[in-house]
Amino acid sequence: MSKSVTEIQQAFKQLRLSETAEELPELLRKAEQASWTYLEFLEQLTTYELNRREEKSIERRLNWARFPFYKPITMFDLDEQTAITERQLKQLREYQWLEQAYNLILLGPPGAGKTLLSVGLGIEAIQKGFQVSFVTMGELIQLLKTEEFTNKSRTQLKRIRSSDLVIIDDVMYVAMDEREATLFFQLIHQLYEQSSLILTSNRSPEEWTELVDNQGIMTAILDRLLHRVEVIHMNNESYRLKHQKTIFN
């Protein structure tokens, strides 16, 4: 006894093939028009389901990453700065440094493109199958200080600790007290050689110790961060100021 398309769609949903279930009428129409064989039809069904699952996985991981904006790496204009060459950017986009748990430190004044570059690399890393988390230094310290009290902080920190790439924006923008520095050290120690980090800052690592009460803790942090690292100095004219909009003609 033959079943209706609706009944077959329901069966697909019970098998948790919901994407294929929705697309089934269109796939059947294409199969009839192109005279697909049974094998070709099955190939189209499975390919469609796998592609949609991957797309949804990317969407979910992009949402979990909590980027401040969505600007792919293709929007990073090499002509706007002299920090890295085209060849170096290509090397970064091969992501061997990520597979080897290397860190990147992007240094420069506000508006130099540090966050734009880090977000662009993070988005592409997700598209290549990596898990990424983005957080500002201020947000991170607040999460660490409230982890034992709130489920929201625990959930976000769990994702950060399980990420292949953690982007921390505006590192050492303000001073840390000893408790905050200790919490930050514990996180860096947990991520050490397990995840890659991209850190953006307008202060060089040599200046970071000046912003912490306990310099021994910051020395231990730097020891882990700088073990395997590439430092990129982005001392360019502010991209935002260069392209600022004006109310005047």
Domains and CATH numbers, the chain: 5-65 (no CATH), 73-242 (3.40.50.300)
Q: What is the pLDDT of residue 187?
A: 95
229-238 CB burial, b ≥16 within 10 A, e <16: beebebebee
Q: What is the pLDDT of residue 105?
A: 94
Segment 142-149 shows an average pLDDT of 93
Longest Cα–Cα distance of the chain, Å, equals 79
CA distance readout (Å), 239 to 27, 76, 113, 168, 189? 47, 11, 7, 20, 34
The residues near 115 (Cβ < 8 Å, ≥ 6 apart) are 68, 169, 200
Residue 181: count of CB within 10 angstroms of its CB: 23
Residue 155 has pLDDT above 70, yes or no: yes
Q: What region does 113 belong to: left with phi over 0, alpha with psi -120 to 50, or beta? A: left
- The highest-confidence range among 12-21, 89-98, 108-117, 214-223, by mean pLDDT, is 89-98
Report, in angstroms and rounded to the nearest whole number, the Rg of the chain calculated over CA atoms.
Answer: 23
Q: Quote the CA–CA distance of 106 and 122 in Å, as a whole number.
A: 14
Residue 238 has pLDDT above 50, yes or no: no
From the list 191, 222, 196, 192, the residue with the least C-alpha distance to 207 is 222
Entry pTM: 0.82
Q: What is the pLDDT of residue 1?
A: 45
Residue listed under structure tokens 């002509």: 79
Segment 199-204 shows an average pLDDT of 92
Label the pairing between strands 132-136 and 103-107.
unpaired
- Would you state the structure tokens that stand for residue 15, as one six-digit string? 């098998």
Q: What is the pLDDT of residue 33?
A: 92
Banded pLDDT at 12 (limits 50, 70, 90): confident
Q: What is the pLDDT of residue 14?
A: 85
